[in-house]
């Protein structure tokens, strides 16, 4: 039995965004698996927030507030505040035609639209935050969808721990989905193990980063790069 001391995760906040195509008055199988991870976090006294992106009026575009670009409505500024208030972001998505949902793509595009902002160290704005993903469906594609989501998050500045994804799929083609009793998904040992490991890996990395005030600003500051204080490639002594 492990004698590892139980960490304290109570200073962390996690945000789960479900990118299902269904509004909150409909059953979401992705939400079912998200709940497994959220329950683990809650048991560790982590503050948890959850919502479905389709319940918000999020405009297409890459500007921080698309109302300033002529759109009638855009709830993105409110969502962005929630994202920046969280140490961990977990994107949940169903699989459609072997890909993440169009809603997940929109979320990533809007995240990308903010990625040029910088933090107090001059680093890109998502530095020090941790990302993961949860995927469900009735066809192959968990790893493919996870690759796309996790690549996008790390490219924007999120840190990705080991095994930062989990998922469940049924047989190819029509059939029971995650929350359907006949699927037996809630008792699937492989899915439950991966969901548990993913959740704790997210917590461990987020705790390490938060307790160390994120990454050092040495060598990765956009502000230092822009003002030329550290780099001069015409000088052999540049550092």
Rounded Cα distance between 169 and 4, Å, is 33
Residue 175's pLDDT is 84
Residue with tokens 């698996």: 33
Residue 226's pLDDT is 86
Alpha helices in 139-216 (DSSP H): 142-156, 189-211
Average pLDDT over residues 47-74: 96
Return the higher-pLDDT residue of 229 and 39: 39
Average pLDDT over residues 86-92: 98
Residue 236's pLDDT is 58
Mean pLDDT of the chain: 93
User: Residue 83: pLDDT above 60?
Assistant: yes
User: Residue 239: pLDDT above 60?
Assistant: no
Domain spanning 13-227: CATH 3.40.50.360? yes
N- to C-terminal Cα distance for the chain?
A: 48
Model confidence over 115-167: pLDDT tens digits?
999 999 999 999 999 999 999 998 789 999 999 999 999 999 999 999 999 99
DSSP category for residue 179: T
Average pLDDT over residues 174-190: 90
Rounded Cα distance between 94 and 167, Å, is 9
Residue 1's pLDDT is 45
User: Residue 234: pLDDT above 80?
Assistant: no
pTM of the model: 0.93
Average pLDDT over residues 188-202: 97
Residue 172's pLDDT is 77
Residue 3's pLDDT is 60
Q: How many CB atoms lie within 10 A of CB 188?
A: 15
Model confidence over 90-122: pLDDT tens digits?
999 999 999 999 999 999 999 999 999 999 999
Please report, for residues 64, 90, 116, 210, the alpha-carbon distance to residue 124 in angstroms, rounded to integers and kept in the order given: 15, 19, 6, 16
Q: Look at strands 88-96 and 13-18 and give their pairing.
A: parallel
User: Residue 197: pLDDT above 60?
Assistant: yes
Question: Residue 50's beta-bridge partner residues?
Answer: 16
């Amino acid at each position: 039995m492990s004698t590892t001391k139980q960490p304290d995760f109570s200073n962390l906040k996690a945000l789960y965004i479900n990118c299902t195509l269904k509004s909150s008055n409909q059953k979401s199988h992705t939400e079912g698996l998200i709940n497994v991870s959220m329950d683990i976090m809650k048991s560790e006294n982590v503050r948890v927030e959850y919502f479905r992106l389709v319940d918000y009026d999020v405009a297409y575009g890459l500007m921080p507030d698309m109302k300033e670009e002529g759109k009638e409505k855009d709830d993105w500024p409110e969502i962005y505040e929630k994202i920046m208030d969280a140490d961990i972001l977990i994107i949940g998505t169903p699989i459609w035609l072997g890909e993440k949902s169009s809603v997940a793509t929109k979320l990533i595009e809007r995240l990308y639209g903010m990625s040029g902002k910088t933090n107090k160290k001059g680093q890109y704005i998502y530095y020090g935050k941790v990302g993961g993903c949860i995927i469900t469906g009735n066809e192959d594609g968990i790893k493919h969808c996870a690759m796309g989501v996790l690549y996008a998050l790390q490219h924007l500045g999120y840190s990705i721990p080991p095994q930062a994804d989990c998922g469940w799929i049924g047989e190819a083609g029509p059939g029971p989905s995650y929350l359907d009793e006949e699927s037996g998904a809630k008792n699937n040992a492989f899915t439950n193990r991966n969901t548990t490991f993913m959740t704790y890996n997210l917590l461990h990395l987020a705790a390490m980063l938060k307790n160390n005030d994120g990454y050092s600003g040495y060598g990765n500051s956009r502000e230092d790069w822009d003002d030329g204080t550290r780099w001069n490639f015409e000088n052999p002594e540049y550092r």
